[in-house]
Structure 1
Amino acid sequence: MLDGVDIGAGDASSGEDETPAAPVLLGALLAYAERIRVLSDARYISAPSRPSRLYALLEPTIVPTVVRVGAHFHPKFWLLRFVDEDSRPSHRLVLSTRNLTDDRSWDLVVVLEEDAAGVVGAAQPAIDLLRATAPEDAFIEDLTRSAASVRFLAPPGFHELRLHAWSAGEGADPMAGRSGSKMLVMSPFIGLDRLRALAAQSDQITVVSRPETFDRLAAGGALPRADLRRLMDLAADDDGLSGELHAKLVVLDEAGGRSRWWLGSLNATDNGVRRNAEALLELTTSTAAGGVDALLSTDGDRLGTLLEPHGIRPPSDDDDDDEGNQGEQALRQALAEGIWRVTVTPKPDGHLAATLTVDWPEARPDPEAKIRVGFASGRSADRLMLDLDAAHAEAQWPLVLLQDVTSLLEVQVRRPAGDPFTLLVVAVLTVPDDQARHAALFRAIVPDVDVMLRLILLLLTSGHDARSASAAARALIDADGESADVLPSLPLIEEMVRAYARDPDRLRRAGAVIAGLPRDDPRTEPLRALWDTFDAALAGRQ
C-alpha cells in the first residue's frame, strides 16, 4: 500500500529492441502480475514516461484508492507470502517510509519475518486496512486470511512490537500518553501544532527535517525550544550520496533505560493522525543502543554523522505557492473521483473504434484546464481532448488496434497557471473479446515464434520447481537466438505435464501466450493442438 507510485517497465515490443533478456521480462510480468496488488492513492499514480504495450500486463496489479478532499491514502507497507517446494507458506511484513518511486530520498525500512517466537496477530491492523480498502478483492482476501494467524518477530536488538494502521479519518495518536527525557522527531513535513504537542511529551527534543519545512514553520508561529537539524548537503559526496529527507521516525527515551521507536508513513502533522490513512510500527529497544543520544552520535556510521544544525531563514517565494498547490490538488481529486470507461466496438469496415466516457460524480475539473487522454501503450491512437463543461464527458478514438487497447490511461493536464502534470487512471474496459485482445497483444510484443517459444517455456518453468526443468527445456530457454526448423514438442509436453500436476495457473498463463502464436506458421500447429488437449483437461478439473 503506497501513497505515490511511478509505473515503469522495459519495452520488448519492437524487433530492434528485442534482446535475449526480453522473454525473461515478459515471463516475469505474466507469471507475477496477477500475484501482486498495489493499492495507491488514485491522485498520485504517475503515468509512465515511456509508453509500452507491456503496461497492459499490469492491469490486474493496480488498485487506485480514492479518499476525501484533505485526506491522503498514505500507508507504506508490503505484505508478502512465499511458498516453498512442499507448498508450505511463509510470510514477511515490510514497513517503510518510502513510496514506490525512483526518487533519490533518505528513507527507513524495517523487515519483519514470520517466526514461531514472534507476536501472534501482529499484522492484524494492516490486514484490517487492506480489507477495508479493497473489500471485494479475492486476492487480498486470500492473502490476508493466510497472514492473520502469523507470528512476526521484532528485528534484532528490538523487543516489543506493535503495528498501528488505520483508514482515512479513523486514526488515534499512537504516541498519546507517552513521556520521557529526550525525543527525536524526524519528518520531512511538520505541523506546528503537532510539533508543540510532541515537544510537551519530553524534556528535550531534537527535530530533523528539511530546511524549507523549518523556515515555513518559523514564519507561521513560535517554534518550541528544540535542537533543529537537517541533512548535510551530500550532492558532492565521494560515495554518491544525495537526496532529500523522506524518513519518518520518532524516538522517545523513557524511564528504566528503554527507548521507544515509531517509524512508518506518519509525518509529524495533525492531518496524518486525524485525516489520513497511515501505517507505522512501534518498537522498543535499550536506550544505550537505540536511544536519542546513540542515534545522534557522530561516531562511526551513526545518524549524527549525516546531520548539521539548521538556522532559520525567511521562506522563499517558491515555498509559499498555496493557491497553485490547491488548484492542482483540486484537479487531481476530480480526476481520481471520475468514473472512466473505455468501450471498444467493431466498425462496418471490420476495424475497431473506442469510446471514452467520464462521469464526474461531484466537483468537475477546472474548465480552464486542458486534459488530453491516451492509452498507456502510447501507440496508434491519438490523445483525446476532454470537454469539461458538463458532468458527462465523451470522446472517441475513430480507429484503434486491439493490441494497443488497455484499461490504463495516461492523462496529461495543463493549467492556465501552474506546472503541468501527468496522471495514470484505471478505466472500466469493455472489448468484444478479451482473449483476442491478449492474443493480439502477445503477437505484437513478441512477433518472433522462437522468442515466443522461450517465453512459453519460461512461464511453465518459473514456479518453485524451476530448477527441475528438463535439460531440453533449459537449453531452449537459454538459447542465443538460433531458429528452430522443427518445433521441439517433447520439452513442451514434459513441462506442460509438470505444470498441470503442480501449478495449473502456470499452464493457463502459458495457454494465453499460445493463443497469441501466429496461425500461418507451420511450427505452431502442433503446439496449438497440444494446448487444446491440456485446456480440455483443465476445464474438466473445474
Structure 2
Amino acid sequence: MFRPDSNRDRTDYSGILMPPDGYRLDRAVGTTYSLDLEALTAVAICLGLSEETDSKLMQNPIGMLNALQKVSDKIVLFCEAGQIKVPTKPTALSILLEKMVVEVALPKDRQLGRYPSFHPKTWVLAYVNADGDKKYRFVVMSRNLTFDRSWDISFAMDSSKNVRQKKKTQPICDFLDYLVTNVHNTSNNAGKKRNLIRGLCSDIKDVSFSLDSKIFGENFEVLPLGIGKNAYRMQEDILFCKERGNANSTFNELVVMSPFLSESVIADFNLTDRALSDCKRTLVTRRSELGKLKASDVDNFTIYALKDEIIDGEEEISDELADKKKQDIHAKIYLRRKYSDVDLYLGSMNASYSAINKNVEMMLWLGTKNMYLNGDKFLEDIFCGPVGDAKNPFEQVTVADAVLETESDNRNLLEQKIKDLCRVKRQAVISEDNENAGKYKIEVEFSGIESDSEVTVSPFNSKQEQTLSEHIEFLELEILQLSEFYEITARSGDDTIRRIIMIPTSGFPDDRESAAVNSVVKDRASFVEYIAFVLGDDYVASMLEGKQMGESGFFANSSDAMPALYEKMLKTSVEEPERIKDIGYVLKMVTDKDIIPDEFRELYETFCNTLKIRR
C-alpha cells in the first residue's frame, strides 16, 4: 500500500483524476495550497482529453486549447492567496485559466499573530456518460498542484450504489459550502462558480462513497479542519488526547510522518505516560525540521529521514517536462495502534500547532485491525523491506543530525509583504489607450497602501514593471497582456520572490478570448490540425492537409475530401457528440475567412441542423 518502489503503490496526478472509461468530466472542485499554472493546464489535459499530466500534449498548443476549452467552465480551483507560481513559459492560453482559479486569503489570527493557511489538497469530481449516468470521486492528498517531486500520499474513493452511508458524505458537503463563501463578488464569474459548487454539493448529498477495501472495510471519516462551525476539531481527536488517566491518551504504536513540525506537538506525542506496554514511537520527517526539537522532546522516538542520495534526486519516471530536482518527504501520515485497533490519518495536516488548530486542512481517518496494518507493517512498506536493507530510502537519525536551513530574515519579510498585499482591497480597470491605437491601458488601485520600492507589479506576460503604490498605470498593452493575473516581485538584498496574484479587473475587451484562440489557430494549417485533433483521425489530417496545400481553395475540386470529412464528423457525432461542439467553439472564436472559409462553416451548419446538435 505504501511501498515507494512498487509500481502498484505509486500513482500520478492523472491516474487519480482521469475520468472512468466511457465517462467525461461534468464538473470538479479542487483545492491546493500552492499552484503552478502549468500544472493546472496539465490537469485540464487529463480531465478534458483523458491524457497523462506529463503528456506531450503539454507542448502542443492545439491540444492545450482543446483541453482548456472543454473544461475551463467546469472546474473551480481554490488556492492560498500569494502562492501562485510565475509560469516559466506564459502563453496566451493562460488567460483561460483565470476562469478556474479562486484565491483564498484567510484573516489574521489574533492568537497566532499571523495568517492561518488555506492548506487542503482535495478534489471532488463528477463524471457523466453519454446516457447521463453520473459517477463521483473524492480525492484527499498531501500534494499541491505543482510539479514538486517530493514524496506525497494520495487517496481516492468513488461513489457506489452498493452501500448506504450518505451520512459520511456530509463533511464533504460542509467543505463545499465553506468554499462557496470564499467566492467573493469581485471574483471573475462569481455567480457561475458558486452555482457550479452548489450544484456539485446538491448532487453528492445523497451519494454514498465506498472504500471497497479488504483492509479498511467501510471504516472511514472525512475530516475538514478550519471551516467554521462544521469543522472537525482535530485537537479533540484521540490522536491528540494527552489527558492523564484518559484511556484515549495511550497507545501501543505511533508513527508520525510529517515534513514540518512544531516542538509542542511532538513533545506531547513523546509523553511517557501515553505509552502502553512495549510501546514503539516512530517519527519520519525532514532533517531540516530536527533543529526545532530538543533531545528530550523525542527520547521515546526512533527518528528517520530520507537518505541524501534520495533527496538529491532519482531518475525521472514518466516525466518529460520536469527537470531533475531535489526531493524530500511531503506526505502527512499518522498511524496509531491501541491493542488490536488501528487508526490511520492522512491528508494535508502537518504535525504543527497551526495545522492542527488554525489552518484550513483536509484529513481522512481510516480504521482497521492490527492483523491488516500496524506500525511495523507500515514501516516495512515505506522502508521497502527490513529497516537495514540496502533498498531502504530512509536512515535513522537523531536531533544532532539536523541540517539547518538558514531562512533569510529578508525572505520571510518579503513573504509577509506578499501575504499582506493579498489582503488589501484592490481593483483594476482596463480602457483603450487613446494615444496608441489598438493598445490598452490598465489603472490599478491598492486601497490605502504606501509606496514600497522593494515590491513591483507587472501585468501578466508583460515586461512593464511599476513600483507598488496606491495608484499604478500601465500603457501600450496588447490585448493578450490583459488578465486578472498580475506578477508581483519582492526584492531585498540578495533575495527575490516572484508570485502571481489575482486583481479583480473590469473592462476586458469582448474579443480577448477570441484573440487567445486566434494566437493558436492562426492560419489554415493550424485550423486543419485542430479539426484533425478534435475528430481524432490521422487520415483526416493527412487528407485535409493534402487538399489545403495542393489547391488554391480550401476544398477546391473536393469530390473526395468533403464526403470523407462529413462521414468522419457523422461518426464522431454518434460516438462522441461533444467533439462536434468543440469545432463550433473555434468557428465562433476565429472569424478570418482566410483561416476558416465559408464552405466549411456551411458544412458545419448543415451538419448540426441535420442532426439537431445544439451549439
Shorter chain as denominator, the TM-score bin is 0.7 to 0.9
Instruction: Tell me how far apart the structure 2 counterparts of residues 303 and 98 of structure 1 sit (CA, whole Å).
Output: 27
Of 180, 189, 199, 1:134 maps to 180
Whether 1:5 aligns to 2:35 is yes
Aligned residue in 2 for 1:369: 454
Cα displacement (A) at 1:246:
0.6
Q: Distance in 2 between matches of 1:365 and 1:206?
A: 49
Aligned pair partner of 1:162 in 221, 229, 246: 221
Query: Which amino acid in structure 2 is aligned with residue 197 of structure 1?
Result: D
Give me the whole-angstrom Cα distance separating, in 1, the residues matched to 2:481 and 2:417: 27
Partner secondary structure for residue 386 of structure 1: strand
Deviation readout 1:294-322 (Å, 9 max, x if unpaired): 1223798359533221122286664354x
Q: Corresponding residue for 2:258?
A: 187
Amino acid of the residue matched to residue 233 of structure 2?
A
Q: Which residue of 1 aligns with 2:78?
A: 39
1:47 & 1:337 partners in 2: Cα distance? 19
Q: Give the match's secondary structure for 2:500.
A: strand
SS of 1:105's partner is coil
Q: Summarize the Cα distance change of 1:536–1:482 in structure 2 as closer, same or farther, 3 Å threshold.
A: closer
Q: Write the distance in 2 (CA, Å) between the matches of 1:539 and 1:371.
A: 53
1:148 counterpart = 2:205: yes
1:309-358 CA distances to partner (integer Å, 9 max, x unpaired)?
1122286664354x335413321212322424241325266422221313
Aligned to 2:512: 437
Gaps of 5+ in 2: 1-30, 43-55, 109-114, 182-190, 242-247, 318-325, 556-560
8 Å CA contact 1:216, 1:319 repeated in 2: no
| Residue matched to 2:473 | 395
1:513 aligns with 2:513: no
Q: Deviations over 1:171-210 (max 9, x none)?
A: 5114345442111011011111112333345443211111
1:428 match: 504
1:234 corresponding residue in structure 2: 309
Residue 99 of structure 2: aligned partner: 60
Distance 1:20 1:394, change over 3 A: closer
Q: How does 1:157-306 map to 2 (within 5 A)?
A: 157-159=215-217, 160-167=219-226, 172-173=233-234, 174=237, 175-177=239-241, 178=248, 179-200=250-271, 201-203=274-276, 204=279, 205-218=281-294, 222-223=297-298, 225-235=300-310, 243-255=327-339, 257-297=340-380, 301-302=384-385, 304=387, 305-306=392-393
Query: Does residue 357 of the first structure (1) align with residue 414 of the second (2)?
Result: no
1:308 aligned partner: 395
Q: Distance in 2 between matches of 1:314 and 1:190?
A: 16
Preserved CA contact (<8 Å) 2:464 2:474: no
Residue 540 of structure 1: how far off its partner (Å): 12
1:99 paired residue among 131, 138, 144? 144
Structure 1 unaligned spans of 5+: 11-16, 467-472
Q: Distance in 2 between matches of 1:426 and 1:238?
A: 35
Question: Aligned partners of 1:325 and 1:441: how far apart in 2?
Answer: 36
Q: What does 1:477-492 align with in structure 2 at a 5 Å threshold?
A: 477=541, 481-482=545-546, 484=548, 485=551, 486-487=554-555
Letter in 2 for 1:152: F
> Counterpart of 1:308 in structure 2: which amino acid?
E
- Give the Cα–Cα distance (whole angstroms) in 2 for the partners of residues 122 and 394 of structure 1: 50
Q: What's the secondary structure of 2:459's corresponding residue? A: strand
Give the match's secondary structure for 1:244.
coil
Q: Are the aligned partners of 1:342 and 1:430 in contact in 2 as well (CA < 8 Å)?
A: yes
Taking the aligned partners of 1:143 and 1:502, their CA distance within structure 2 comes to 26
**1:64, distance to aligned residue in structure 2 (A):** 1.2
Tell me if the contact between 1:188 and 1:245 (Cα under 8 Å) persists in the aligned partners: yes
User: How many equivalent residue pairs?
Assistant: 510
- CA deviations on 1:444-467 (whole Å, 9 max, x unpaired) are 2221223224425655x5xxxx8x
Cα distance, 1:250 vs structure 2: 0.5
Q: Is the 8 A contact 2:291 2:404 kept in 1?
A: no
Residue in 1 aligned with 2:416? 330
Per-residue Cα deviation, 1:119-178 (whole angstroms, up to 9, x for no partner): 324333233222212345222222222222221122442131101003357551143454
AA of the residue aligned to 1:161: F
Could you tell me whether the CA contact under 8 Å between 2:587 and 2:596 is conserved in 1? no
Measure, in 1, the Cα distance between the counterparts of 2:438 and 2:162: 62
Q: Which amino acid aligns with 1:127?
A: C
1:14 equivalent in structure 2 = none
SS at the partner of 1:251?
Answer: strand
- State the distance in 2 between where 1:307 and 1:202 align: 25
Counterpart among 151, 163, 169 of residue 123 in structure 1: 169
Residue identity (%) = 19
Contact 2:459 2:481 in 1 (8 A): no
Alpha-carbon distance change, 437 to 494 in structure 1, aligned in 2, over 3 angstroms = farther
Aligned partners of 1:207, 1:365: CA distance in 2, in Å? 46
- Paired residue secondary structure (1:87): coil
Q: SS of the counterpart of 1:150? A: coil
SS in 2 for 1:515: helix
Write out per-residue CA displacement over residues 54-91 of structure 1, whole angstroms, 9 at most, x where no aligned residue: 21121211111111232000001111111123220101
User: Contact conserved, 1:260 with 1:282, CA < 8 A, in 2?
Assistant: yes
The question of whether the paired residues in 1 share the 8 Å contact of 2:262 and 2:292 is answered with no
Q: Name the stretch that deviates more: 507-516 or 103-112.
A: 507-516
